[in-house]
Amino acid sequence: MPTWLQRQKYLIDFTLSSLLRRRAKNAGLLLVYTLIVFVLASVMLFTHALRHEAVHVLAQAPEIVLQRMVAGRHDLVPATYLDRIGEVRGVHKKSGRLWGYFYDPAVKANYTLLVPPTDAPAGGEAVIGAGIARARGLAVGDFVTWRGSDGQPRSLRVARLLDSDSELVSSDLVLVSEDFFRGFFGIPAGQYTDLALSVRNPREVRKVAEKLALLLPDTRPILREEILRTYDAVFAWRQGIVYVLLIGAVLAFVVFAWDKASGLSAEERREIGILKAVGWETGDVIRMKFWEGAIVSLTAFLLGYVTAYAHVFFADAALFEPVLKGWAVLYPHFQLTPTIDGLQLATLFFFTVFPYTVATIVPIWRAAITDPDTVMR
């Protein structure tokens, strides 16, 4: 084995013995350090996985959704707008969407009623999301009765349940026929909730949206990239809120670790004096202290990260789920796909391991360059 490596092994041996002499104090530090890394890494992994899920699924959302605004509020869009949009070059496909909300007092939850553009259920039938089936205890063949906008009760037979694999987007959906939808909400023929457009050339989406805003000034185009950005912002904001809540704990740890790492106790000072008196060089003392910082911080980082990964992807992030996911009566059941953002992990490594290791070296360097006799006194 090369001499250099052998030398480092002896130094680590010595450092470990020194750490074990102050066993309780160092075990406490390692525990708190690991806990801080665990919490930060859990939030980071959970948010990244949720964001990844949202981006992947919503990448198929309509390229442009056109809403009509009347006095600052959404309003129904007349079908004639579809003909006027036909004049805009670049619009590839256009269709009216029919969807709305229905508050079900039985479970105190909002459903999203939607008419599928193709393969709509037959009149009097519905296809429901798994969340509604759970909340109302419904199965295929059961009937539900809701009161429409005219006060008349209308019954629907559950024809099918939506695939539970897609629950993240379909938990609260009720797919119905166009006739049922219009009758239930009292929406006359020739009116839509909004319009969905697709553009032939993806690079022209913004230009088409600008043209639409000029052609139909009472409308608001919402682009797919804005939809994706919305969810990116939602999860980034939630991650930020958890970090803000944790900032007190993190700062307390920083003060504690800084004090532990940078302030030398009388015992440590004496130890350095003795080491120098028996012939250790300043470089050796600094290397020994570097190993002390590296051992504590690297162990805490790896242990914190691995337990955070297990917490998020094997225990469904039980500790932070309510804050990061949100809650609702019709909450979807879904399994997060494990994803790791290498850059975020590297940032976490840099901000947890690096400062502590540096903080241990600086005061030691100061003590190590002074005369051993002075240090021992």
Partner 1 sequence: MRKTDRFLWLIGALAVATLLTFLHAGLGAREALPRLGAGAGLVRDLGLTDLALFTEARYTRHLSQADLHTAFQDHPLAFEHFPSGSLHAPPPHLRLPHADLAATTEVPD
68-87 residues in contact with partner 1 (CB under 8 A) are: 72-74
d(CA 220, CA 213): 7
121 binds partner 1 (CB under 8 A): no
293 binds partner 1 (CB under 8 A): no
Place of tokens 């230009």: 207
Only segment of 93-101, 204-212, 249-257, 369-377 that touches partner 1 (CB under 8 A): 93-101
237 binds partner 1 (CB under 8 A): yes
In sequence order, what DSSP letters do the residues of 140-203 get, joined into one string?
Answer: TT-EEEEE-TTS-EEEEEEEEE--GGGHHHHTTEEE--HHHHHHHHTPPTTEESEEEEEESSGG
Site for partner 1 in 168-187 (CB under 8 A): 168-173, 175
62 binds partner 1 (CB under 8 A): yes
Site for partner 1 in 303-342 (CB under 8 A): 303, 305-306, 309, 313, 323, 325-332, 335, 337-340
- Residue 227 neighbours by CB under 8 Å, 6+ apart: 58, 61
Candidates 110, 155, 265, 347: give the one binding partner 1 (CB under 8 A): 110
Only segment of 81-89, 181-189, 297-305, 365-373 that touches partner 1 (CB under 8 A): 297-305
Candidates 27, 57, 106, 362: give the one binding partner 1 (CB under 8 A): 57
Where are the extended beta strands (E) located within the chain? 64-70, 73-75, 77-78, 91-97, 99-104, 109-114, 125-128, 143-147, 153-161, 173-175, 191-192, 194-199, 219-223
d(CA 366, CA 17): 23
Q: Which is nearer to partner 1, 224 or 276 (CB)?
A: 224
138 binds partner 1 (CB under 8 A): no
Site for partner 1 in 15-54 (CB under 8 A): 16-17, 20, 53-54
d(CA 128, CA 172): 7
Candidates 231, 243, 256, 280: give the one binding partner 1 (CB under 8 A): 231
